Structure 1
Amino acid sequence: MKRDYAVQRGTLDGVEAFVRVAERRSFRGAAADLGVTPSAVSQAVRALEARVGIALFTRTTRSVGLTEAGERFLERALPAFQEILAASNAARELGAKPSGLLRIAVPRAAVPLVLQPLLASFSAAYPDIAVEIAASEKLVDLAKEGFDAGIRMGELIANDMVAIRLTPPFRFIVVGSPAYFTRRGRPRTPAELAAHSCIRLRRSNGALATWRLKEGSEMVDLSVSGSLIVHDFPTMLEAALSGAALAQVPEPVAAEHLSSGRLEEALARHAPLTSGLFLYFPDRKQVLPKLRAFIEHARSFTQDRQTEASETAKPAKTPKAGARRVRSRD
């Protein structure tokens, strides 16, 4: 049987006035506390008594006292009123300074790429914020599932979300181990993938993802085949490292292994470019200080990393003719 939990309109009206009068035993004192006139307090209390159906105060020209009904009402109403005040103060604190629990939904592959490097510095800068990371390939509804923000590739973010870039655009590349290429050969065209073992990714909706590649100026989606199906890119990468099959993964995920030679790229000129990773959230007007602090910290951290990367990529300057080299001293 369905129950009606709706609070009748006006049920709470006058409760604060009643509590103040009961504490002060004075309508004038309660009015001073509330910043209103004694007449306004008296009217609020009379309206409350009318709804309850019984007098809550005994009034004389010299004093104010509680009736038995008023005592019972105060006994039950005061703790509830104090809880409402405490709830208001707790909510107000979240709006006043960066604090509380910050919940972020991210794909597993984004954790080492984006979050791990900045979480330590963020936690040190904002010790009153607890960060909860929910790593999943599922495309979550932030508002419905209680998340403050999410991290996804730009192509997967709904148009009604606010998105802030965290990484530059990157490619989706096909990789395999040297042992795999020695054993099975290296595909030269997307069509040749039909003769190879490819690791497939099952999406959160149950469908198997296709491999998207470039063919000239167009994009093609290929239904590859292989005996291994995974649910995330880190697992796919580990399988490729073992030599089991080829994988198509975000380039930053495989960058370290490509540099070390544990993985090699195939079909490089067919690799599509994605928009990169973004932090996204529902509405700028709803951003609490805890999320605003994370946004600004992530922005600053990302800019610093990009600056460092560009500085590292610059070629070393050679001394001009006639210039002296200065030997550093230990």
Structure 2
Amino acid sequence: MPRENLNDLLAFLAVAQDRSFTRAAARLGVSQSALSHTIRSLEERLGVRLLTRTTRSVSPTEAGERLMQTVAPRLEEIEAEISAVSDLGERPSGTVRITAIDHVIDSVLWPRLAPVLEKYPDVRVEISSDYRLIDVAAERYDIGVRYGDQVEKDMVAVRLTPDVPMTIVAAPRYFETHPVPVRVQDLVRHNCITLRLAGGGIYAWELRDGGREVEARVTGQVTFNGAYQMLSAALSGYGLAFLPEEMTQPHVRAGRLVRVMDDCCPSFPGLHAYYPSRRHSSRALRMVIDAIRATD
């Protein structure tokens, strides 16, 4: 196969998997116009349309879906074999792509990776902050990091942290004008700082009410799509926030936040790194997993 045909197939797979010319172009390091031209040229050579384009979305046609299902696994096998051969060298090398949510990157991944990466200058790590539940195989990530109950059963999972206690917090000034909530039902009378999910909906707080697990569909004046912004709003006195204890506890100890409704707050299953089971995993991938895994 001519080299340009292989490059064009890789470009098509990137667009089809990302469902976006914008994201695929950024991942490939090319302009959107160049990527669009590449896809059109490939479709012209094959004599069939591979992608359905609208002003809001991109999706594979029947022919494009068939190409994805048949070609992508073979390319992954080739990449795995190349990684296996490169592992015969003296030092681990290559790029490891990771997806996680923002505060996990800052509090868990980067502190554990930074000192190790200094020892291995040929290993590159690309870390993407995303609140979506990523299909790491389909979107060509090497590792995903999520809470244990969010990991698909067919993935290899490695625990990174103990279970994660959740907290409901607000600034002392908020309680100067609002009563302290005690029960889940009390939340309907409060200004809650909400999280917009990647799919468009508002996250329902997963709480305990007596012995029952409940989803509290809270509302409030401000909504964000990231945990750090929610924390900042809580510190500013805008309302109640539902956040991991590791984010809120330093501020609680300093008196900047007050914890409430501890009996209603669960612990989420610990953070896990997950990745597809492959015949060959590169030394770079194994090095990254060893660096971020739980130490006890």
TM-score (norm 1): 0.63
1:92 pairs with one of 82, 85, 92: 85
Task: Tell me how far 1:118 sits from its aligned partner.
Answer: 1.2
**1:180 equivalent in structure 2:** 174
1:189 and 2:183 matched: yes
Q: Give 1:141's aligned residue.
A: 135
Supply the distance in 2 between the matched residues of 1:198 and 1:274 (Cα, whole angstroms): 20
Q: CA deviation at 1:285?
A: 2.8
Identify which of structures 1 and 2 has the higher relative contact order when contacts are C-alpha pairs closer than 8 Å and 6+ apart. Answer: 2
Conserved? CA contact 1:95–1:289, under 8 Å: no
Paired with 1:180 and 1:212, the residues of 2 have a C-alpha distance of 22
User: Once the two structures are superposed, what CA deviation does each residue of 1:133-178 show, in whole Å capped at 9, x if it has no partner?
Assistant: 1111122221222211011111211111111111100222111111
**What aligned pairs does 1:98-137 form with structure 2 within 5 A after superposition?**
98-137=92-131
Corresponding residue of 1:278 = 272
Matched-pair contact (CA < 8 Å) for 1:95–1:288:
no
Q: Tell me if the contact between 2:113 and 2:292 (Cα under 8 Å) persists in the aligned partners.
A: no
Following TM superposition, the consecutive aligned residue runs of length 4 or more in structure 1 with deviations greater than 3 angstroms are: 1-5, 88-91, 94-97
Q: How many angstroms does 1:94 deviate by?
A: 4.9
Aligned to 1:111, the other structure's residue is in SS state: helix
SS in structure 1 of the partner of residue 102 of structure 2? coil
Return closer, same or farther for 1:89/1:233 CA change in 2, 3 Å cut-off: closer
Cross-structure match for 1:74: none
Q: Which residue of the other structure, out of 217, 221, 226, is the alignment partner of 2:215?
A: 221
Alignment RMSD (CA, Å): 2.0
CA distance in 2, matches of 1:210, 1:140: 20
- Aligned 8 A contact 1:201 1:232 in 2: yes
Write out per-residue CA displacement over residues 108-153 of structure 1, whole angstroms, 9 at most, x where no aligned residue: 1201220121122121222210111111112222122221101111
Taking structure 2 as the reference length, the TM-score comes to 0.70
Query: Matched residues in 2 for 1:284 and 1:91: separation?
Result: 11
2:160 aligned partner: 166
Structure-2 separation of matches of 1:142 and 1:94: 22
Percent sequence identity is 35
> Match of 2:242, as an amino acid?
Q
Determine the structure 2 residue equivalent to 1:245: 239
The structure 1 residue matched to 2:248, chosen from 240, 250, 254, is 254
